[in-house]
Structure 1
Amino acid sequence: MKKIVSLLLVFVFIAGLSFQSAASAAVKQYAMVTKDVNVRGKASTSSKKLGVLKKGTKVTVYAKTKYGWAQIVYKSKKAYIYSSYLHFYTSAKAVSYKMNTAKKYVYKDNFGDTVTYTFAGMNNGWNQWYENNSIASWEKEDAKGLYTQIPFIKNSTSTDLKYPIKVGEKWLFSSLGGTKAYATVTGINKTVKVKAGTFQKVIVVNITDGETTEINFFAPSVGMIKSIINVKGDDQSISMELAEIKKK
């Protein structure tokens, strides 16, 4: 009898290892829980509730079902949660693309002009940035995207990045003045060199309203490092790139 029990324990142990190994071999995705979510034993709301993951919890997703469930490991067992309650990242570490408030950003354009951005404080969750000593823009980031806003101008909010980031993703960038501009991710994990240095894992976003095209480059933990603007019918491009990052 003891021998049978021992064999059963070994089988259970090996089965557990097999699941972990199979899960590890799958294409992993990393995510953060955006609101408290129930953990289920199967991909169904009628399945037994195993527990609750709190907002802000980081998880590894091993598979996703066509019905909107994400397969995770919960207390060493296979489990499921709603994918719609997750913000996915490209790596195990949650990546931010907003500007570092502890730094001063110096940009230079192709005409030789210099613009300096310095953090000026917060306003209702928005980071305020001085442009050459005058408040010029507000910035905010959440689980759904990165946003900028022109202070005190109605409907001036633009969605610079939409999360999760993936090539081909398209969204409404802004509709300021009734003109709609759309953004599309055209590249990820790019290496881009600017005056301030070489940056890895850069996101490339194309924005157009039909007349003007803007190409923006975002580096993790830094923010925008380069921008190129082309106006239809004009051969001259306007480019701005990060020249230096200083301590405040």
Structure 2
Amino acid sequence: MSKIGGFKSLLAFILVLAIALPFSVTTSQAAVTAKTGWVSIDSGALTVRSGPGTNYQKVGSLKNNTAVTVYSQLKNGWSQINYNNKKAYVSSQYVRMYSFLMDKTKIYTYKTEGSYYKTQYVGKYRDWDKWVDNEGFYITKEDSKGLYTGWPNAAFFTDLAYPLKVGMEWTDWEVKNKIIAINGTLKTPAGTFKNVVTVKSSDGYTTYFAQNVGFLKAVSNGVTMSELTSLIKK
């Protein structure tokens, strides 16, 4: 190959590289900015549309608590999401950018007042998630107003009230609760957890919850009453 031919080949390679690099950076940046959101609707299903507005064609629907990839949230109140590997849109008011439901793929072990309890997801109970432990089963649920734990045909409790923010208050069974922190870090025998929410209650309890994990720990007057000690894959 002559010097001229070699120079032309090198120039062509540089031009191809110059074209490819900006595309690679743009693709990478798009991947970084995408976040996970959860459908948060009290009843029915969330309509998915081809564009950011009710005048656009309906292309599908999503059930409550379905996880979705959110590319952006527009100023006009619509969110661009991934739907069946295509870009689509849903109303932002029905997309919650955090979830504190327990991980259905994991087995949890808690130490509560000296005893160990294992718990794991076993299926649905109506529109609730059903979990079993040493003493039976209980149910959990999350919607646009909060995170709940309960027992079939009995009482349920509000663990967290939404929208999630410091100072959020609610009363549950005559106990007043208040969110005092939302971006904490907490270490338990099961690991170190970030984005931890701390709730202070009028009965003297302080409870901690982690995103995508759920309940971590409960402390009463400085004494640990219950704590997550193990979190493993099924």
- Between the aligned partners of 2:112 and 2:160, the Cα distance in structure 1 is 23
Partner of 2:3: none
Partner of 1:172: 170
TM alignment of 1:14-29, pairs within 5 A:
24=30, 29=35
Could you tell me how far 1:227 is from its partner in structure 2? 1.0
> Quick one: which amino acid aligns to residue 139 of structure 1?
I
- Between the aligned partners of 1:242 and 1:73, the Cα distance in structure 2 is 34
Matched, 1:64 2:50: no
Deviations 1:62-90 (A, max 9, x none): 2332x53335588999875311232323x
- Between the aligned partners of 1:105 and 1:26, the Cα distance in structure 2 is 33
> Quick one: which amino acid aligns to residue 191 of structure 1?
T
Q: How many residues align?
A: 202
Match of 1:85 among 94, 105, 122: 94
- Between the aligned partners of 1:193 and 1:78, the Cα distance in structure 2 is 38
TM alignment of 1:152-231, pairs within 5 A:
152-153=153-154, 156-162=155-161, 166-168=164-166, 170-172=168-170, 174=172, 176=173, 179-184=174-179, 186-188=181-183, 190-194=184-188, 196-209=189-202, 212-230=203-221
**Helix, strand or coil: the match of 2:193?**
strand
Judged with a 3 Å threshold, the aligned counterparts in structure 2 of structure 1 residues 59 and 238 are, in CA distance, closer, same or farther, namely closer
**Helix, strand or coil: the match of 1:84?**
helix
Asked if the contact 1:99/1:224 (under 8 Å) is kept, the reply is no
Q: Unaligned stretches of 5+ in structure 2?
A: 1-22
Could you tell me how far 1:148 is from its partner in structure 2? 0.7
Partner of 1:11: none
Partner of 2:20: none
Deviations 1:4-59 (A, max 9, x none): xxxxxxxxxxxxx7xx78x8499654324453424254x5434x43x424314723
After TM superposition, the score normalised by the length of structure 1 is: 0.58
- Between the aligned partners of 1:201 and 1:101, the Cα distance in structure 2 is 19
**Helix, strand or coil: the match of 1:62?**
strand
Q: Percent identity?
A: 22
Deviations 1:140-192 (A, max 9, x none): 13454431115654xx311223466x442625362x2xx1423426122x432
Asked if the contact 2:139/2:151 (under 8 Å) is kept, the reply is no
Judged with a 3 Å threshold, the aligned counterparts in structure 2 of structure 1 residues 239 and 80 are, in CA distance, closer, same or farther, namely same
After TM superposition, the score normalised by the length of structure 2 is: 0.61
Judged with a 3 Å threshold, the aligned counterparts in structure 2 of structure 1 residues 72 and 97 are, in CA distance, closer, same or farther, namely closer
